[in-house]
Amino acid sequence: MADDVIFDLLHSEIVAFLHRTTEKDNQDQCINKLESLGFRIGQSIVERFTKESPRFKDDLDIMKFICKEFWSAVFKKQVDNLRTNHQGVYVLQDNKFRFLTQMSSGKQYMEVAPKYLAMSCGVIRGALANIGINSVITAEVSAMPSCKFQIQLQRT
Amino acid sequence: MSRQAARAGDPRKVNGELFTLTYGALVAQLLRDYEDDEEVNKQLEKMGYNIGIRLIEDFLARSNTSRCSDFRETADVISKVAFKMYLGITPVVSNWSPAGDEFSLLMENNPLIDFVELPDGHNNLNYSNLLCGVLKGALEMVQMDVEVKFVQDQLKGENITELRLKFLKRLEDAVPVGED
Amino acid sequence: MAVCVAVIAKENYPLYIKASTADNELKFYYTVHSSLDVIEEKINSAGKNANDQRELYLGLLYPTEDYKVYGYVTNTKIKFVIVVESSNTTLRDTEIRSMFRKLHQGYVDMLCNPFYIPGESVSSKSFSETVISMMQQ
Q: Least CA distance to A77: which residue of chain B?
A: B11
Residue in C43, C53, C112 nearest the CB of A44: C112
Question: What CA–CA distances, in Å, run from A41 to A80, C9, C119?
Answer: 23, 19, 15
Distance from C-alpha of A66 to C-alpha of A49, rounded to nearest angstrom: 11
β-sheet with B144-152: strand ranges across: B92-94, B102-107, B161-170, B144-152
pLDDT digit string, tens, across residues B52-100: 999 999 999 998 888 888 999 999 999 999 999 999 999 999 999 999 9
Alpha carbon of B161: minimum distance to chain A alpha carbons (Å)? 17
Q: Determine the average pLDDT of the residues in B126-135.
A: 98
Which residue type does B166 have?
A: K
B172 touches chain A (CB under 8 A): no
pLDDT surpassing 70 at residue A43: yes
| Chains B–C, number of C-beta pairs less than 8 Å apart | 28
Cβ–Cβ < 8 Å for C109, B115: yes
pLDDT digit string, tens, across residues C108-121: 999 999 999 999 99
Query: pTM of the entire structure?
Result: 0.92
pLDDT averaged over every residue in chain A: 90
More confident residue, B97 or A103: B97
Residues in B touching C116 (Cβ below 8 Å): 117
Tell me if A43 and C53 make a contact (CB, 8 A cut-off).
Answer: no
Residue in A4, A13, A44 nearest the CB of B47: A13
pLDDT digit string, tens, across residues B159-175: 999 999 999 999 986 55
User: Which domains are present in chain C?
Assistant: 2-136 (3.30.450.70)
Tell me if C126 and B25 make a contact (CB, 8 A cut-off).
Answer: no
Residues in B touching C112 (Cβ below 8 Å): 17, 20-21, 24, 114-115
Distance from C-alpha of C17 to C-alpha of B92, rounded to nearest angstrom: 41
B58 touches chain A (CB under 8 A): yes
Residues in B touching A13 (Cβ below 8 Å): 47, 50-51
Alpha carbon of B95: minimum distance to chain A alpha carbons (Å)? 26
- How many helices (H) and strands (E) chain A has is answered by 5, 4
Residues in B touching A9 (Cβ below 8 Å): 51, 54-55
CB neighbour list of residue B78: distance below 8 Å, 6 or more residues apart = B93, B105, B135, B165
Alpha carbon of A2: minimum distance to chain B alpha carbons (Å)? 4
pLDDT surpassing 60 at residue A114: yes
The secondary structure element, H or E, covering residue C97 is: helix C93-111
Residues in B touching A127 (Cβ below 8 Å): none
Residues in A touching B58 (Cβ below 8 Å): 5
Tell me if A53 and B11 make a contact (CB, 8 A cut-off).
Answer: no
User: Torsion over CA of A27, A33, A39 and A42, rounded to 10 degrees?
Assistant: -90
pLDDT digit string, tens, across residues C45-92: 765 555 566 889 999 998 888 899 999 999 999 999 999 998 887 788
The secondary structure element, H or E, covering residue C39 is: helix C25-46
